[in-house]
Amino acid sequence: MNAYDEYMKGIVQPMRQELVNVGFTELTTPEDVNEFMATANGVSLVVINSVCGCAAGLARPAVREAIEEVKPDHLVTVFAGQDREATEAMRGFFEEVPPSSPSIAILKDGQLEYFIPRDQIENHPVEQIRDHLAGVLKQTCTK
């Protein structure tokens, strides 16, 4: 690993831990993604994490608060720009949606049910994002 990669790894570690600390499993390789998706029964919340300010100040806090209200069966995350191959593999499961990070996907039995792209995160209050996500999770988890 070169000095730049080592530096970036240290920078993003707290951003990764923020989701791991509330129960998310990181999928860091395409194999991790494919293994998860092969067995993803029930409702899965997939966060495509990012180093940007809207991920730090909006997406991650909204997700953490929303899952306090409604907890889906699975919580997983891939990190755009860091785990590129894993992120690409995950996005391959919902190709109909343009790539966006940060973003939030709700899957049911491995199929995309709902997607919240960056433009519905950036410049929106964290409470609005939380309520939007919690509402979708409530509907999806009770179907």
Q: Which sequence spans correspond to the domains of the chain?
A: 25-138
pLDDT above 90 coverage of the chain, percent = 84
52 annotated active-site: yes
What tokens does 137 get? 């999770």
Report the alpha-carbon distance of residue 100 to residue 102 in Å, rounded: 6
CATH code of the domain occupying 25-138: 3.40.30.10
pLDDT at 6 over 90: no
Catalytic option among 43, 48, 54, 63: 54
What pLDDT shows up at residue 52?
A: 86
User: Which of the four pLDDT bands, split at 50, 70 and 90, describes residue 142?
Assistant: confident
pLDDT, mean over the chain: 94
Burial 100-130 (b: 16+ CB within 10 A, else e): bbbbbbbbbeeeebbbbbbebbbebebeebb
Choose, from 52, 66, 105, 134, the residue flagged as catalytic: 52
